[in-house]
A and B are shown apart, each in its own frame.
Chain A
Amino acid sequence: MGAIYFDNAATSWPKPPTVSAAMVDCVREAGGNPGRSGHRLSIAAARVVTSAREALAELFNADDPSRIVFAHNATHALNLALHGTLRPGHHVVTTGLEHNSVMRPLRHLETLGVEVTVVPCGPDGMLDMDSARRAFRSNTRLLVATHASNVAGSVLPVSALATIAHEHGALALVDAAQTAGAIPIDVGHAEVDLLAFTGHKSLLGPTGTGGLYVRSGVALTPLIRGGTGSASAHETQPDFLPDAHESGTLNVAGIAGLNAGVRFVRETGLGSIQAHEQALATRFCDGARQIEGVSLYGPSSAADRTGVVSFTIAGTTPSEVGLLLDDSFGIMARTGLHCSPSAHKSIGTFPDGTVRFSFGWFNTAEEIDASLVALREIATWAASNARGTSWTA
């Protein structure tokens, strides 16, 4: 067996062949600047962008594609949403599972006078809903919650959280970095006000793509301002979407690839993708539980999780396991804290972290079985070797 890629939560690999083909085609045939000029190449580029916006709106069941704002990635989209809604004196509620893409902007906003409440999560990576309900105050402006943990793989009930937020007059922002393209998201049904997504994970697009869905009626202060190709006579930023938040030339070739990725997801079927990744996670967890020395983290039920699984092996460290998997078994995984110290504190694996396997559409049951053989060998070795390496600082 060749290389096994189990790092889809960092970025998905491989991509459908249509993704790279669309990017090459875009550079060759649609190389103008979208929305800037009226000539054929500019219009061809604008068609690419419009097509991608429509595909994303349909995927998320957003009725108006202009409410999809393109961004560099989910972090960019989250910063736009957080800085665009929160002001000194506001209160924000978040969870103990958040990635630093949420926690670092929030900790910065805290220094500017925004109050932050972090609702704790259990060692299984699930949120205490009663604590969440009690966290809201009269000045709570925003709830921000990850749809699924990038460490534990646990899926949060974002629809119920959004309902609680609305009951308290707050907006609901969902970080869908780990779920867009992996599990169905219906922004209409879930009553999510803001949804940040990345293009390069389960949507199967290239890096440097992502965006933010903004519900109609939700006003956001722009993160950056500049040329949009629209309202050019004015030196003030346009107030209509998506232009208000899309200053500067877009990553058109990347968006072309994202468009192809989203269309692949829709043609394959989100239900099929979710079922496949859950089946792989279940097969892995069932096998790993039989290996002495392996500890699994996250929810026990397959229904509550994505294709992300964290584990440790007794007698060895995550970084050792990651090195052995790559060097000796050709298995690529991510080890450590996964940019989410808060989540690791919640599941009790801070500061050492875990080994994370994240399965994607292109992974197979045979790859899961090969990884279990590797883990058994590493666990046996770790159990029979005294801890300690010969190094000096």
Chain B
Amino acid sequence: MGSVERERDVVDGLISFFASQHAMRAEVVLARGGLRSRLVPGPRELSPNCGVALRFDYAEREKAVALLAARSVRIDGVHFYQPRTDAWRGRS
């Protein structure tokens, strides 16, 4: 799919935001701090505020929150997140 292909790593944490600009900024901040993350469509059940959320390793949540706070990136919430849609990965 070329440029529109999305990384398919599955991770179990999700950070929700109030605005997608914040999510985009958070991805950069986490990457610079050595944490892998993945932008995904924001699940409305967790946050109705923003169309984009960030999946990451839930075990790294304290480090992630500290990194984002140090860079003044506003977040809506941090969630443990294993959606049932993950079961679809690789089947199509």
Contacts and interface: CB of A to CB of B under 8 A. Distances in A.
Interface of A: 2-3, 317-320, 322-324, 326-330, 332, 335-336, 351-353, 377, 381, 385, 388-393
Interface in B32-49: 40-46, 48
Contacts of B79: 391-393
A59 to B, nearest CB: 30
Q: Contact residue range for chain B?
A: 20 to 34
Contacts, number: 73
Interface string B60-92: 000000000000000001011111110011011
A320 B81 CA distance: 13
Contacts of A388: 84
B1 A3 contact: yes
Contact of B40 (A318, A323, A353): A323
In this complex, the member of A323, A352, A388, A391 whose beta carbon has the largest number of chain B beta carbons within 10 angstroms is: A391
Contacts of A336: 44, 51
A277 to B, nearest CB: 22
Nearest to B13: A391
Contacts of A330: 1, 4
A324 B45 contact: no
A329 B77 CA distance: 29
21 contacts: A2-B2, A3-B2, A3-B4, A319-B41, A319-B43, A320-B85, A324-B85, A324-B88, A326-B6, A327-B6, A327-B85, A335-B41, A351-B48, A381-B88, A388-B84, A389-B81, A389-B82, A391-B80, A391-B82, A392-B80, A393-B46
Contacts of B46: 391, 393
Given A352-B44, A389-B81, A390-B84, 10 more contacts: A323-B83, A326-B41, A328-B89, A328-B92, A330-B1, A332-B4, A335-B41, A391-B79, A391-B82, A392-B79
A303 B48 CA distance: 34
B52 to A, nearest CB: 11
Nearest to A352: B44
Given A2-B1, A388-B84, A393-B77, A327 B44 contact: no
Contacts of B89: 327-328
B55 to A, nearest CB: 11
B92 A329 contact: yes
A322 B48 CA distance: 15
Given A327-B6, A327-B8, A327-B89, A389 B84 contact: yes
B37 to A, nearest CB: 16
B44 A319 contact: yes
A10 to B, nearest CB: 10
Given A319-B43, A319-B44, A353-B44, A328 B82 contact: no
A310 to B, nearest CB: 15
Contact of A323 (B8, B85, B92): B85
- For the complex of A and B, the 3 pairs showing the least CB-CB separation, nearest first, are A328-B92, A3-B1, A389-B83
B23 to A, nearest CB: 15
A328 B42 CA distance: 17
Contacts of A328: 88-89, 91-92
